[in-house]
Amino acid sequence: MTARILLVDDQPLVRAGLTMALADLPDLAVVGEAGSGVEAIRLASELRPDVVVMDIRMPGTDGIEATRAIAAATLDVRVLILTTFDDEDNVYAALRAGASGFLVKDMALTDIIAAIRVVAAGDALLAPSVTRRLIRAFATHGHSAAPERDPGRDRRLADVTEREREVLTLVARGMSNGEIAAHLFISPATAKTHVAHLLTKLGARDRIHLVITAYETGLVSPA
């Protein structure tokens, strides 16, 4: 099955380069291009791509606002941020807005293409250099955003069982379903079911957003 890609960047040369790189790949097809956030929102609604590869810094509506609008529209369109600016504020804001991945433009082209495939398949992905920044962002923003970080009181966790909290904690520590299963002495299928229940109960798009919730509610500490 061919994944449909919308490229969003205010630099035509960047869009042209990515279009050429993806042109000969049978499983990825560029169905549209946008040079602004407003145009990205419109084309995402009209074209319904599988993945929007989104820059952050653009005139007018930036990539973070565009990502938030696309995610809020529940179009079943996943956003992969591809930008030069990978500071903590941008990483945190983009993922909170609903992005399913965050890459930087100095990554190898093969890694960028691989990331597009991962996000198109429904998973989430962060560039290795971004993970450290994300944890710092949790430490900075998490405390200010939630002054009373008590996982026993946070309403988002009200319907989460004790076992699911254990699973959520392990997801936030970066464990795969197989590792969670081994750690809790359960089957991989059961671990997968717990993760699926967490995604539904917490309204999370993917594992990255489960991690965000775990930190924001105080279930896991950045330390």
Alpha helices for the chain (secondary structure H): 12-23, 37-47, 63-72, 88-97, 109-120, 128-137, 143-145, 162-172, 177-184, 188-201, 207-216
- What is the pTM for the complete model shown? 0.78
CATH architecture classification, 147-216: Orthogonal Bundle (1.10)
Cβ atoms < 10 Å from Cβ of 18: 21
Do domains 3-134 and 147-216 share one topology? The answer is no
- How confident is residue 87, by pLDDT bands cut at 50, 70 and 90? confident
Q: At what angle are helices 162-172 and 207-216 packed, to 10 degrees?
A: 110
Tell me: the pLDDT tens digits for 153-201? 678 899 999 999 999 999 888 788 888 999 999 999 999 999 999 999 9
Pairing of strands 51-54, 101-104: unpaired
Question: Taking the alpha carbons of 167, 168, 173, 178 in that order, is the dihedral positive or negative?
Answer: positive
Q: At what angle are helices 109-120 and 12-23 packed, to 10 degrees?
A: 80
Q: Where are the domains of the chain?
A: 3-134, 147-216
Q: What is the pLDDT of residue 173?
A: 81
Q: What's 3-134's CATH class?
A: alpha beta
Q: What is the pLDDT of residue 133?
A: 67
Is pLDDT above 70 for 139? Answer: no
- How confident is residue 129, by pLDDT bands cut at 50, 70 and 90? low
Tell me: the pLDDT tens digits for 43-55? 999 999 999 999 9
Tokens encoding 177: 């379903």
- How confident is residue 18, by pLDDT bands cut at 50, 70 and 90? very high
